[in-house]
């Protein structure tokens, strides 16, 4: 435990100085160089010599996991260096009901080295290698282990090869458009409380997401309400002002719990929604009923996935009717996640399915971002590489 505490301290101490000096690196400029000629490219090109500042419009999605292991100290330090004014800890809990940062309660087998450790035997579904047409199977939950055991793990790039016949083959699965360059030494995992201290040290604000449990609730007497309350209590214990926190959940009941029981935090509670097979972009009557109900219940922030907010009109990326209806209802919009699901040269994956016919160049990240900012009117954009959003926010005075 002493070694872990020392590692976290060494990682966090330089935080404030790092956050004060924004270093975007070459990627935003690389993307701008490859944009089609036009007014947007001209505007972005005119900002190449700007001194960049951190912006709340730029939100680090699990840190900067395009290249760093997600939800680690290193990933979030990188995001802060790139000007992310808000950082995210996805919150789940351990066997002893302590809060930690993981994207899901059951992702330890893809995001950490647990399978290569002595803790592998504690996984809900121990590893079985692929055999013939049968894929590998494994599931390791934070609730399988204690906080002390969690703190012995290190983070890796989120990936698992379901055709792997061995643990080594299963773990060696990072996508070709990502990298293992910054994970070779392992990433430093964090408790939720440690993330609060780190983000505050880095000068960033907070957007924790209460993740849906993989275990049946209540868990050993720990109810969903206890879980939602404990997350907020850790901000109160750390003396963090409620206006610096945007708590998130896909579970509307969590959001309404905060609105009712922690109204100062609930005022900025974010209801997350995502594209589903039943999503109908034209069902405006249903949207308006849903949006009106949310506003009536005190929900002020809605966070749809990018594919819900943009569509194709007249052969170009445009704001969707869904996005316009949400804004007309008085909801503040946040969206996720830029630079997440693969290169736009090959369609961009799930996040860009609504505009896949008109995006074919990674420079189109800026095209989509411009529509989200100017036509949709989002308050902030999650990104796996915050430098791109930070550049745009500074150039366009977005959220500054």
Decide if pLDDT at 5 tops 60: no
pLDDT digits (tens, 9 = 90+) for 179-236: 999 999 999 999 999 999 999 999 999 999 999 999 999 999 999 999 999 999 999 9
The pLDDT value given to residue 148: 98
Q: Into how many domains does the chain fold?
A: 2
**pLDDT single digits (tens) 53-73:** 999 999 999 999 999 999 999
b/e burial code for range 18-48 (CB count within 10 A of at least 16 → b): bbeebebeebbeebbeebeeeebbeebeeee
Specify whether 165 is located in the same domain as 203.
no
Same domain assignment for residues 139 and 237: no
In the prediction, which pLDDT does 284 show? Answer: 79
pLDDT score, position 91: 99
Residue 282 — pLDDT band, cuts 50, 70, 90? low
Tokens of 4: 């872990």
Confidence (pLDDT) at 19 = 54
**Residue 341, pLDDT score:** 87
| Average pLDDT, rounded, for the chain | 93
Percentage of residues in the chain having pLDDT higher than 90: 88
Backbone angles phi, psi at 28, to 5 degrees: -55, -40
Tell me the per-residue pLDDT of 69-113, one tens digit each, with 9 for 90 and over.
999 999 999 999 999 999 999 999 999 999 999 999 999 999 999
Burial 330-367 (b: 16+ CB within 10 A, else e): ebbbbbbbbbbbbbbeebbebbbebbbebbeebbbbbb
Is the pLDDT at 156 greater than 80? The verdict is: yes
Q: How confident is the model at residue 2 (pLDDT cuts 50, 70, 90)?
A: very low
The verdict on residue 182 lying in a domain is: no
Question: Is 356 a residue whose pLDDT tops 90?
Answer: yes
**Which position has the token pair 């949310």?**
294
pLDDT-derived band at 276, boundaries 50, 70, 90? confident
CATH classification of the domain holding 49: 3.20.20.190
Predicted confidence at residue 12, as pLDDT, reads 39
In this structure, are 201 and 228 located in the same domain?
yes
Residue 13 has pLDDT above 90, yes or no: no
Mean pLDDT for the stretch of residues 17-30: 83
Residue 94 in domain: no
d(CA 378, CA 314) in angstroms, rounded, equals 22
Considering the domain architecture, whether residues 236 and 323 belong to the same structural domain is answered as yes
Which pLDDT belongs to residue 20? 64
Q: Looking at 7-16, 100-109, 165-174, 359-368, which range is the least confident one?
A: 7-16
On whether both 167 and 194 belong to a single domain, the answer is: no
Kindly state whether residue 369 falls inside one of the protein's structural domains.
yes
pLDDT at 382 over 50: yes
Are both 80 and 133 inside the same structural domain?
no
Helix axis angle, 224-237 to 252-261, nearest 10°: 50
> Is residue 363 pLDDT above 70, yes or no?
yes
CB atoms within 10 A of CB 147: 16
Give the pLDDT band of residue 400 (cuts 50, 70, 90): low
Instruction: Look at residue 281 in the predicted model and tell me its pLDDT.
Output: 64
156 and 202 belong to one structural domain? no
Give pLDDT, residue 342. Answer: 86
Contact 382, 373 (CB under 8 A): no
In a domain, 56, yes or no: yes
Q: Say if residue 15's pLDDT is above 50.
A: no
Per-residue pLDDT band for 3 (boundaries 50, 70, 90) equals very low
Residues 6+ apart with CB under 8 A from 65: 75, 157, 158, 384
Nearest to 73 by CA among 14, 150, 145: 14
What's the pLDDT band for 280 if we cut at 50, 70, 90?
Answer: confident
In a domain, residue 177? The reply is: no
> Which residues constitute the domain of residue 129?
106-171
Q: Is the same domain home to 37 and 120?
A: no
Whether 183 is in a domain gets the answer no
Instruction: Give the residue from 171, 199, 215 where a domain finishes.
Output: 171
Q: What is the pLDDT of residue 399?
A: 79
% of residues, the chain, pLDDT over 70 = 94
Give ∠ CA 19-24-28 in degrees, rounded to 5: 150
């Amino acid at each position: 435990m002493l070694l872990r505490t020392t590692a976290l301290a060494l990682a966090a101490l330089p935080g404030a100085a790092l956050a004060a000096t924004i270093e975007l690196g070459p990627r935003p400029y690389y993307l701008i160089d490859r944009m089609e000629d036009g007014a947007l490219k001209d505007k972005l090109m005119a900002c190449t010599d700007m001194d960049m500042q951190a912006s709340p419009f730029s939100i680090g999605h699990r840190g900067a996991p395009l290249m760093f292991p997600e939800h680690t100290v290193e990933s979030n330090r990188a995001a802060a260096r790139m000007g992310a004014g808000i950082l995210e800890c996805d919150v789940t809990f351990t066997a002893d009901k302590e809060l930690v940062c993981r994207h899901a309660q059951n992702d330890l087998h893809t995001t950490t080295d647990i399978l290569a450790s002595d803790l592998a035997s504690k996984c809900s579904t121990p590893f079985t290698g692929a055999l013939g047409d049968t894929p590998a199977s494994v599931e390791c939950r934070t609730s399988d282990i204690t906080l002390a055991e969690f703190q012995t793990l290190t983070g890796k790039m989120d990936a698992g090869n379901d055709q792997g016949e061995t643990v080594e083959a299963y773990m060696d699965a990072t996508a070709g458009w990502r990298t293992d360059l910054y994970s070779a030494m392992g990433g430093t995992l964090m408790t939720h409380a440690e993330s609060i201290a780190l983000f505050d040290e880095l000068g960033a604000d907070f957007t924790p997401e209460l993740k849906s449990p993989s275990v049946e609730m209540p868990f050993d007497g720990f109810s969903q309400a206890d879980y939602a309350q404990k997350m907020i209590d850790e901000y109160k214990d750390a003396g963090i002002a409620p206006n610096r926190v945007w708590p998130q959940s896909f579970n509307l009941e969590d959001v309404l719990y905060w609105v009712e029981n922690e109204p100062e935090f609930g005022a900025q509670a974010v209801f997350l929604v995502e594209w589903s097979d039943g999503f109908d972009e034209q069902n405006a009557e249903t949207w308006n009923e849903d949006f009106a109900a949310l506003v009536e219940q005190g929900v002020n922030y809605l966070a749809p996935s990018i594919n819900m907010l943009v569509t194709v009109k007249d052969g170009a990326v445009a704001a969707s009717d869904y996005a316009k209806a949400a804004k007309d209802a008085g909801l503040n919009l946040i969206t996720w996640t830029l630079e997440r699901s693969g290169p736009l040269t090959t369609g961009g994956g799930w996040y860009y399915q609504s505009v896949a016919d008109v995006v074919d160049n990674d420079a189109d990240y800026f095209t989509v971002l411009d529509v989200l900012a100017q036509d949709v009117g989002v308050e902030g954009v999650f990104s796996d590489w915050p430098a791109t959003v930070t550049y745009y926010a500074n150039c366009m005075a977005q959220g500054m």
